[in-house]
A and B are shown apart, each in its own frame.
Chain A
Amino acid sequence: MSPLHLHLLLAAALFAIGLAGALTRRHAILVLIGIELMLNAANLNLLAFWRYGPNPEPLNGPIFALFTIAIAAAEAAVGLALIIAIHRRYRTTRVEDIRRLRG
């Protein structure tokens, strides 16, 4: 088991935990946390491949990760704004209760 594999394993585990959280938690913020976790797991993957990949000199890895973190932050802001807006309107944070878009 190379160091790369260990990093990837960790990232995968984090991703799975994040996914599980996003799929099963009732509270909307906890779903958001799960999504954040998934994003950071993907970040880890990026950095791992940068560190143990064939080209360590240029700062591709960290730059890429920086972009991802920025996007994650923006997306978290939007998500929180959504949750607050929904809470204002429907006075609930349970994902289950928001069913307006049914077909």
Chain B
Amino acid sequence: MDLFPRHLWLIPALPLAAAGIGSLLGPSRRRLAGMLAVAAMALAALLSLAAFAGTVTRETAGEASVAVHNFGWFEAGSLLVSIGWILDPLSAAMLLMITTVGTLIFLFSIGYMADDERAHRFFTFLSFFAAAMLGLVMANSLLLLFVCWELVGLASYLLIGFWFTRPAAAAAARKAFLTTRIGDLGLLLGMLWLYAETGTLLFFDDGRGCLESDMLAGLAGRLTASGLGVSAAISLLILCGAIGKSGQVPLHVWLPDAMEGPTPVSALIHAATMVAAGVFLMARVYPLAALDGTADVLRVALTVLTWVGAITALSGALTAVAQYDIKRILAYSTVSQLGFMMMGIGAGGPAVGMMHLLTHAGFKALLFLGAGSVIHGCHHEQDIRQLGGLRTRMRLTFATYAVGMMALSGVPLFFSGFWSKDAIVHSLEGWPGGKLPFVIALGTAALTAFYMTRQMIYVFAGPARSPGAAAAHESPPVMTGPLVMLAVATIGLSAITTPFVPWLEHFLTSSLGKGDSPGHANWGVLLLSGTISLAGIALGGWVYRRVPGGRATDRDPLGIRFPRLFDVLERRFYVDELYAATVVRWTQLAGWLAASLDRWISSALHDAAALAASAGAWLTRTLDQGVINATFDDGCEAARDSGRILSRAHDGRAQQYLRILVVGVAVLLFLLWNLQGT
């Protein structure tokens, strides 16, 4: 279409306009604000669909799959900073995913936030977030991407802390912002270094862009002082940003706490979109990260990426096994799945990782919205030990949640999650960097199936374990509608993600490069992943067979068998405590030191200034009183005294005046007579 990519900006502009208009509405108009947000996102979705269709037709016609539109942003002397939009399969797919999932989640929010007094603000923030996220994925410039990256972080802060009167929510928002900020520092440094090396931050610019072959050729082989390749070093720095934003170990601590925000926020930001931004970024700069070496030689940045992903995937899954809050289980599951995506990019190339990102966005949003429906229906009960029996009371929620759970667990054939996860596992099997990530991935897949089964049993199976769950009712259609649509999408996506019909993978590969993906189907790996996921489900079902019909106060069966291990998992490996004792303590110490120094210096300065002022005041006062007043007063005294003395001559005796007058005349005449000759 000729409308794109020049007018790609319309897509984020629509939610931005909705945010702007929505900010002017008051609490009484929150339904209108919600509908405005949904309408804007739906329109944006239509535009994204058009852009996506355009990209597909372009690609099938064999034309260049990357279309950009660049323009100058500002000049500073001889420096011209340009930004632009890019429409390639990656950005088209992301745009479509964000807008469609976003529309469904916005719709859900209208029902979920119906009773909240500040719901109008909620939709403003949501739209603002959507605009920033859309801008992020269509940015052709690392600078524009970074700007949108930070805006997305801001929106996340506003939304996590939406119920800011709760101290836990406010603390969680701060924690999210600060933790991602640490990663963003690495991203900024990488960006600056890249600019210094290539002179441009545009990705594609008629051959001059920093991701295009000419520039990359110039960068290849260059080494830093320590022997590390320059491109590897830059990629590692950019990876820091991705680690922060996508909740990889060690910066994953903010993601579970972010569950303090409303559930639609968790669904949109912390499952489908914002946390995917880190994965997206790594996919975007993959040509840079893949630069040093070939497929056989290990590439530093990608190796680090794969190992980080592996550690994150495993630790996330282990922690999820021991959590009791319905949203925390899903949060740790997200951490784990993001690790999977990172492993996919590292070992299999960007298309593999992105496929899982896209399918995961669908079913994770579905799961979170389902959890939201459960929470809403059980009047904000989030502890799974207090639930139960919802299978009969919330049938639609149960059915759609089951679809999401099966996709996440990797149940074979009809669920997109199976295919995308299998692609990752397949890439890891042939990875030259080692067999361990492959084993970790399989173990994590088993654990995923296990803890999801645990959650399903606790929440839906058996009789209700608390009055809140017993009184649960199905959610209104405005909330269950999106659930159904997402479930359908989850199943539908499986059609294009299988290796037998690898449409999506080919589509994504066309602009991103093939990476190391083997591409073809491997029956052995397929069977292995399928078996593992089914085995995980079976194990979960067996371990937790006694939970339905139990009491809310019963201990977790795993906790009874392995108490110490379970406690470590439940306490999240004590990572938060570790950080509090080290990083937080040291920062507070530094802060205290700086504050004391500042106080000491500033109070010294303050005292000096005060002393100078009072000395000046004393001097002025002395001069004023002693010199000026004295002079004036004495002068006046003298005048008065002299007047008093002189007025003695005016005593009213007329004859006396006459006498003096005569004497004076005589003297005058005498003088005149004598001075005549002179």
Question: Residues of A at under 8 Å CB distance from B?
Answer: 19, 22-23, 31, 95-96, 98-103
Q: Which residues of A contact B653 (CB under 8 A)?
A: 95-96, 98-99
Give Cα distance in the complex from A99 to B647, angstroms: 13
Residue of B nearest to A96 (CB): B653
Give Cα distance in the complex from A103 to B650, angstroms: 5
Question: Residues of B at under 8 Å CB distance from A?
Answer: 647, 649-655, 658-659, 662
Do B652 and A95 touch across chains, with their CB atoms under 8 A apart?
Answer: no
Would you give 17 A-B contacts (Cβ < 8 Å), ordered by A? Answer: A19-B662, A22-B655, A23-B659, A23-B662, A96-B653, A98-B652, A98-B653, A98-B654, A99-B652, A99-B653, A100-B652, A101-B654, A102-B650, A102-B651, A102-B652, A103-B649, A103-B650
Q: Which residues of B contact A100 (CB under 8 A)?
A: 652
Do A23 and B652 touch across chains, with their CB atoms under 8 A apart?
Answer: no
Give Cα distance in the complex from A19 to B658, angstroms: 10
Do B658 and A99 touch across chains, with their CB atoms under 8 A apart?
Answer: no
Do B650 and A95 touch across chains, with their CB atoms under 8 A apart?
Answer: no
Q: Which residues of A contact B662 (CB under 8 A)?
A: 19, 23
Give Cα distance in the complex from A100 to B650, angstroms: 10
Q: Which residues of B contact A19 (CB under 8 A)?
A: 662
Q: Which residues of A contact B650 (CB under 8 A)?
A: 102-103
Give Cα distance in the complex from A56 to B147, angstroms: 127
Give Cα distance in the complex from A99 to B264, angstroms: 108
Q: Which residues of A contact B652 (CB under 8 A)?
A: 98-103
Give Cα distance in the complex from A65 to B32, angstroms: 121
Do A23 and B647 touch across chains, with their CB atoms under 8 A apart?
Answer: no
Give Cα distance in the complex from A45 to B655, angstroms: 26
Give Cα distance in the complex from A23 to B658, angstroms: 7
Question: Shortest CB–CB separation between residue A21 and chain B, in angstroms?
Answer: 11
Question: Shortest CB–CB separation between residue A63 and chain B, in angstroms?
Answer: 28
Do A23 and B655 touch across chains, with their CB atoms under 8 A apart?
Answer: yes
Question: Shortest CB–CB separation between residue A16 and chain B, in angstroms?
Answer: 11
Residue of B nearest to A22 (CB): B658
Residue of B nearest to A25 (CB): B655
Give Cα distance in the complex from A19 to B650, angstroms: 22
Give Cα distance in the complex from A9 to B653, angstroms: 32
Residue of B nearest to A95 (CB): B655
Residue of A nearest to B663 (CB): A23
Residue of A nearest to B651 (CB): A102
Q: Which residues of B contact A98 (CB under 8 A)?
A: 652-654
Residue of A nearest to B659 (CB): A23
Q: Which residues of B contact A101 (CB under 8 A)?
A: 652, 654
Q: Which residues of B contact A103 (CB under 8 A)?
A: 647, 649-650, 652
